[in-house]
Amino acid sequence: MSTPAAAASGAAPTTFDFPREYHFPPFFTRQTNVNTHRAQLEKWSSLVLAYCAHHKLYKLSLSASAASNNNNNNNDESPSGGAEDLFHNRKLNRRLSTADAREVLEFMRKEGRAEFVGGGDGSSSGREGGGGAVAWIYWKTPEEWAKEIESWVDETAQKGTVLTLYELTQGEDTRGSTFHGLDPDLLQKALQVLVKRGKAQIFGQEDSQGVKFF
């Protein structure tokens, strides 16, 4: 996405406090015991959510995060490493394999906390570019985003006015709101929730869309 450079300076990324299990070497090996493995998945799931929420990452690319290349295409606001250190603990020299990371995302998908871009369940090799599946990480689900946008519109008395999508996430007015800087695709998803409920209507072309709230 083409975020202006100014946005990046807005919130200086503070360092993320990794939970205790991140410093536990076996955490990066898929556990053989069923119950242990489930506990492991749950811990990974909450770690991924907390990590993405902290860095305001809306999408996670497995190839970018598991392999340690720097050019992740997720979000310009994130620190240059992106999600690089999420699945890779440099200090411990431990890494969650791509297959295991995919399993984590799949677990999160079943919990309604992730969704593979382009659909699918992640087990079939992603449609997008080879093995690197990209997934939405719902530290807030589209429904939750929709709710926040709705209450912001309500609070600022903008029902009935037309706002551009750009305005909603990049405009001066929404600076300070939780959805400022929201990924455009995710914004679409959230607005679709409102459209379905009859609370909003979307106009316009691809690149200059507007939305009206009721």
Give the one residue of 1, 8, 42, 188 binding another protein; rule: CB under 8 A. Answer: 42
Give the nearest distance from C-beta 23 to another protein in angstroms.
Answer: 4
Residues 158-167: contacts with CB under 8 Å, at least 24 apart: 158/213, 159/213, 159/214, 160/212, 160/213, 160/214, 161/212, 161/213, 162/203, 162/210, 162/211, 162/212, 163/210, 163/211, 163/212, 163/213, 164/208, 164/209, 164/210, 164/211, 165/191, 165/209, 165/210, 165/211
Does the protein bind another protein through residue 27 (CB under 8 A)? yes
Give the nearest distance from C-beta 50 to another protein in angstroms.
Answer: 16
Angle between helices 98-110 and 34-55 (to 10 degrees): 80
CA dihedral sign of residues 31, 35, 41, 45: negative
Give the one residue of 2, 9, 14, 35 binding another protein; rule: CB under 8 A. Answer: 35
Give the nearest distance from C-beta 90 to another protein in angstroms.
Answer: 10
Does the protein bind another protein through residue 2 (CB under 8 A)? no
Name which of 44 and 138 has its Cβ closer to another protein.
44
Give the nearest distance from C-beta 146 to another protein in angstroms.
Answer: 32
Give the nearest distance from C-beta 193 to another protein in angstroms.
Answer: 33
Does the protein bind another protein through residue 50 (CB under 8 A)? no
DSSP state of 126: P
Q: Are 105 and 98 in contact (CB under 8 A)?
A: no
DSSP-based three-state secondary structure for 134: strand
- The residue length of the chain stands at 214
Give the nearest distance from C-beta 135 to another protein in angstroms.
Answer: 24
Give the one residue of 3, 4, 13, 23 binding another protein; rule: CB under 8 A. Answer: 23
Does the protein bind another protein through residue 159 (CB under 8 A)? no
- Of 22-30, 63-71, 169-177, 200-208, the segment contacting another protein by CB under 8 A is 22-30
Q: Are 132 and 126 in contact (CB under 8 A)?
A: yes
Does the protein bind another protein through residue 99 (CB under 8 A)? no
Does the protein bind another protein through residue 93 (CB under 8 A)? yes
Count of residues that bind another protein according to CB under 8 A:
24
Count CB neighbours of 86 within 10 A: 23
Residues that bind another protein (CB under 8 A): 20-21, 23-29, 31-33, 35-36, 38-40, 42-43, 91-95
